[in-house]
């Protein structure tokens, strides 16, 4: 079946009455709740999956039509039924057994669902094998419910792009206020989790593509250290900066999901560096008192762009101090010019990685290289109607790897973000983590002028290849805003500890109400 699919800063603006789309049996369920229900025999995985699919049909494809899903897995109900049989026979694979998960549609599955990156050029592209991520989820007993819409090519195709739009999936809407943007590129993943169309989603991030849609849709999102989760079978942008990661409504759910995703993979050499750093169960680091005695740095560059966000961040700082943390201002986090080096690295690696991915689809694939993709977009009636493909063209002009220019940019980026950046600052100030607002409230979707970013804080962690997690920080009117915590390579345990403590002390998450424009 394909579907085309807390403290609040108050205001006197009257919002129109929304329909009650939150009359749902499993609304805001977390994984422990769901597993408890399974164990007590209150419902089965088959019943749960059917309920989520029905909700997708009534909210995603119709009703408020938030359009977060590209395709629903036609085998999802049958998979759930088989998992119920396993449970009845005494076999439970773990905490993800029978849990619905949605994958961003740049993550390969070898089944009846294509993997498109949102591009019409790959509309009927069926990968020859599962991605590492899909395989790990299946082994853990998760039900892959479907594929989520995304900003096409993970938002690295062209200039003035509107996040959440793809040629295959159309425009995804923010479920809090439908005229607002979901942010990207894991737009559909963030919206599907927030709107209770799934329990978990897997997004991917090069720079901001998990944390921004998580922030804008009021959920928790984690981009792991590059190499902790394999990228095999994930349509790439940057070998140095890309990572898949879990998105959920709670830190607990994200920690459970992360535990299932890790593992070394010989086909992704970055994962070989994770040996010795992998934790079999990240939930053991969830500690309500996890902020006591912690030294938290404040990344100040995003501050001053939006006074409403600054006000929420001031409240968040008070909450952190009340929970026992010590806050320290950071004057400079990364070296000047590091962002320019990162952009060069991305262009070089995009050309190399995308050509390799397209070749992996086999001789029958419609598009076999970057040249053919660029030509297809020029000829297609939909692809270039809102924005261009400048980044594809810029990447295509780069030298093949290895290249002296590439090696120079890579070295400069890593020195600026790691050695002389996060590593140096955290060591000198003896920090456990760094915080900043994740972004500004969602802007109105604009297909003429593209996105209207005011601020973001994902850059330092992205350029370093280090982990970052965002959790809800509060609301501006009806729109959620997140706070990001980031730190050193392989510091997921420390970040999960402090974010869980903050989440439990504040509990800002609330379900969206699907408010129409006004």
* CA neighbours closer than 13 Å in the CB half-sphere of residue 104: 35
Between CA 243 and CA 280 the distance in angstroms is 19
For 3: left if phi > 0, alpha if psi spans -120 to 50, otherwise beta; the answer is beta
Cβ atoms 248, 496 nearer than 8 A: no
Between CA 211 and CA 227 the distance in angstroms is 18
Q: Is the bond preceding residue 341 a cis peptide, omega within 30 degrees?
A: no
- Which token pair is 73? 């897995």
Cβ atoms 73, 145 nearer than 8 A: yes
Cβ atoms 180, 442 nearer than 8 A: yes
- Which token pair is 251? 């830190």
Nearest to 299 by CA among 143, 451, 449, 429: 429
- Residue 204 β-bridge partners: 244
* CA neighbours closer than 13 Å in the CB half-sphere of residue 259: 23
Residues belonging to the active site:
104, 185, 209
Between CA 166 and CA 182 the distance in angstroms is 13
Radius of gyration of the chain (CA): 21
């Amino acid at each position: 079946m394909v579907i085309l699919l807390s403290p609040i800063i108050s205001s006197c603006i009257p919002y129109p009455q929304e329909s009650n789309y939150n009359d749902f049996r499993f609304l805001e369920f977390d994984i422990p709740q769901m597993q408890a229900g399974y164990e007590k025999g209150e419902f089965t995985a088959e019943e749960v999956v059917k309920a989520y699919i029905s909700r997708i049909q009534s909210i995603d494809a119709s009703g408020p039509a938030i359009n977060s899903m590209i395709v629903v897995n036609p085998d999802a109900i049958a998979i759930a039924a088989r998992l119920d049989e396993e449970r009845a026979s005494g076999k439970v694979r773990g905490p993800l057994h029978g849990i619905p998960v949605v994958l961003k549609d740049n993550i390969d599955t070898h089944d009846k669902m294509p993997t498109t990156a949102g591009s019409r050029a790959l509309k009927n592209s069926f990968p020859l094998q599962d991605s590492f991520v899909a395989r790990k989820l299946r082994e853990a007993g998760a039900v892959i419910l479907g594929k989520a819409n995304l900003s096409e090519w993970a938002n690295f195709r062209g200039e003035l792009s509107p996040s959440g739009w793809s040629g295959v999936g159309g425009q995804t809407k923010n479920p809090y206020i439908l005229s607002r943007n979901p942010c990207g590129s894991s737009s559909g993943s963030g919206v599907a989790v927030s709107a209770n169309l799934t329990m978990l989603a897997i997004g991917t991030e090069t720079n901001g593509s998990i944390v921004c849609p998580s922030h804008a849709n009021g959920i928790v999102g984690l981009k792991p250290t590059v190499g902790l989760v394999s990228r095999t079978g994930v349509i790439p942008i940057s070998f140095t900066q890309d990572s898949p990661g879990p998105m959920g409504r709670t830190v607990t759910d994200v920690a459970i999901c992360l535990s299932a995703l890790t593992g070394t993979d010989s086909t992704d050499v970055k994962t070989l560096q994770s040996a010795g750093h992998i934790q079999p169960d990240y939930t053991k680091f969830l500690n309500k008192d996890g902020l006591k005695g912690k030294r938290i740095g404040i990344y100040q560059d995003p501050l001053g762009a939006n006074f409403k966000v600054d006000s929420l961040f001031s409240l968040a700082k008070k909450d952190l101090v009340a929970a026992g943390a010590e806050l320290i201002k950071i004057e400079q986090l990364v070296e000047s010019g590091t962002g320019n080096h990162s952009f060069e690295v991305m262009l070089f690696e995009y050309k190399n990685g995308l050509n390799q991915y397209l070749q992996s689809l086999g001789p029958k694939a419609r598009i076999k290289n970057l040249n053919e993709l660029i030509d297809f977009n020029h000829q297609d009636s939909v692809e270039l109607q809102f924005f261009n493909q400048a980044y594809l063209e810029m990447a295509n002009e780069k030298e093949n790897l290895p290249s002296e220019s590439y090696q120079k940019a890579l070295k400069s980026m890593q020195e600026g973000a790691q050695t002389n950046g996060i590593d140096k600052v955290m060591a000198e100030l003896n920090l456990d983590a760094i915080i900043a607002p994740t972004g500004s409230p969602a802007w109105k979707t604009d297909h003429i002028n593209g996105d209207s970013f005011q601020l973001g804080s994902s850059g330092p962690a992205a350029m370093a290849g280090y982990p970052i997690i965002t959790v809800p920080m509060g609301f501006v009117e009806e729109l959620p805003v997140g706070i990001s915590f980031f730190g050193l390579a392989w510091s997921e345990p420390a970040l999960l500890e402090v974010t869980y403590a903050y989440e439990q002390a504040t509990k800002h998450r609330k379900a969206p109400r699907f408010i129409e424009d006004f």
